[in-house]
Structure 1
């Protein structure tokens, strides 16, 4: 999909195939031709107190451009265009590697001794001790630095997609 010409992605028909209901903003799965994409219309943005209203789409496009300028390939190809619900952000869909998790929940005594860092510990409703941990990797450290550079204060564990090849 990365080799699809930009004019095709900008002018091709954006067809919606579903809605991602776990997102806080209106977020849709769609396609432009055979290329799967995510579409977030500006009109469906949930405003945040710390950013001007109606700027999420442009901030996501800017994050992609910074990622490209740094050569870090953290944010998939992202652009601004019209869609079924008006102007919005469109981003190439990414298939994550189901064999990898960059962030995971473990029984507190089963966090791997090497390659993982515990973020916090707590208990579930049955009193079992649990630990939230993330991998200790150069890729995750680079993503953390990237988030500081682009002022991304909204990174959640589910926003970290482990890609094939350890990316």
Structure 2
């Protein structure tokens, strides 16, 4: 009886941990959709987050196209939204905040120890499995804190877009 319970725990505990570990994942857009929607609602303009060199090249090409045309206030705002490195840095903060959110939702790594002890002719093997219980118990609270931080970062990025547009219009 005791052995079968031990076997069941040995099989079900790791399976449960694997299922729980997969709960926190990255979103497809890194939280950028909130910023993008805000820019469209309030400005009627596009904002792009250049995450790769190809994205940067596409933005440079789009800025070059806009500069070939006569520039009015709306075109100047669009150029500023595409070409401002400070805004791109604010958008990069979204990626960092999302990474922190995902990390906060993941289970702490377990530790395994194995020791070989010898006393005279006697040989003893010591095995251990440990988990940071405090990190495990604080997981829901840490996840909630990081969700709030992520939402705050989204708001800050959206505010940066609107502030850049307002400054450009001046």
Larger radius of gyration: 2
TM-score normalized with structure 1 length: 0.21
TM-score normalized with structure 2 length: 0.20
Relative contact order, higher structure (CA 8 A, sep 6+): 2
